[in-house]
Amino acid sequence: MTTIYCTFGRGDLSDATRTRLERAAAQHGATLRFSPHAGWSNLEAGPADPALTTADIVFGQPEPEALLSGRARWVQLSSAGYGRYERDRDAVARAGIRLTTSSSVYADPCAEHLLAMMLSLGRRLHTLREDQTRRAWHAHQRRVESRLLRGQTVLSLGYGAIARRLVTLLRPFEVTVTAIRRQVRGDEPVSIVAADDAAGILDALGRADHVVSTLPAGDGTEGFMSAERFAAMKPSARFYNVGRGSTVDQEALMATLQAGDLDAAYLDVTHPEPLPPEHPLWTAPRCFITPHSAGGRDSERDELVRHFVRNLARFGRDEPLLDRVI
């Protein structure tokens, strides 16, 4: 009999969501096992459990080593990123393990979060909030500081599910969008720069009003936003990161902000996480930080299970899996 192992505990799901998962497993003729440890996270691997190595299907955040020593045929991660598995890509592929992510689940909240921040910075809502706390009325100054998105240029670092959803949300604002992509297909609805085109990337950075990173962690993305690339950006430009903190040279970012060579930076991800209270990023000028919350929503765990159940049905029919990366 097929065994499905979930790396989160039974108590980490609502009764309705747990029931949905149990019914799906039963319809698949599978035994469902939960981790004995509560406190599931979609960002960290759960504690070791020998039962995981006996599972045919794993849902959650398993350690790559546990997968490679087990018998899993398919693993669905409860995150959009898969950096730890990218490093073991060849081994995972040789083991015949299909790896899928939950990037579709996070596309909407992350894209809306990015759009909200772009609009907030453009309309100077952070400054207006500060004015309110001081009961200050700077009408003329705040009006002339405000910007419209219409007519501006957005550069997306990456073109996965989140970036594609953001492109859709930006359409009514009539912006020009360019994206950097590792594998160029040729049918993208926006201009594409290949990830190995160093000169093309610098040129695109220099033209962008907004640079948005959704890059995952990995050998090819470590420190992608370097001092050279920040220097290529316009002083009036803004940088946003909802990918992974390790993709940014944070020292270079802080130096760029200190020099006044970047209008603002918005970071939902940092390196490390949580960001230590004494870290200088907290007080860097015009740097806005949120605690890796961009992908959140009140129904996050429900949607993760729904996504897994959809893929489980596909797996049972031997159909292509959603969000497959390996």
CATH code for position 45: 3.40.50.720
Residues 198 and 258 in one domain: yes
Residues 29 and 87 in one domain: yes
Residues 39 and 88 in one domain: yes
Residues 170 and 282 in one domain: yes
Residue 258 belongs to domain spanning: 148-289
Q: What is the pTM of this model?
A: 0.94
Burial class (CB in 10 A: 0-12, 13-18, 19+), 136: exposed
Residues 246 and 171 in one domain: yes
Q: Provide the number of structural domains found in the chain.
A: 2
86 inside domain:
yes
pLDDT in tens, the chain (326 residues): 899 999 988 899 999 999 999 999 999 999 999 998 877 777 777 777 888 899 999 999 998 888 888 899 999 999 998 887 877 888 888 889 999 999 999 999 999 999 999 999 999 999 999 999 999 999 999 999 999 999 999 999 999 999 999 999 999 999 999 999 998 999 999 999 999 999 999 999 999 999 999 999 887 899 999 999 999 999 999 999 999 999 999 999 999 999 999 999 999 999 999 999 999 999 999 999 999 999 999 999 999 999 999 999 999 999 999 999 99
Summarised one tens digit per residue, pLDDT across range 32-78 is: 999 988 777 777 777 778 888 999 999 999 988 888 888 999 999 99
Summarised one tens digit per residue, pLDDT across range 83-110 is: 878 778 888 888 899 999 999 999 999 9
Residues 57 and 187 in one domain: no
Residues 84 and 191 in one domain: no
Residues 164 and 99 in one domain: no
Residues 96 and 196 in one domain: no
With beta carbons less than 8 A apart as the criterion, state whether 214 and 163 touch. yes
321 inside domain:
no
d(CA 303, CA 100): 15
Residues 154 and 281 in one domain: yes
Terminal CA-to-CA distance of the chain, rounded, Å? 25
The set of residues, in sequence order, having a beta carbon less than 8 Å from that of 103 and lying 6+ positions away, is: 80, 160, 161, 162, 323
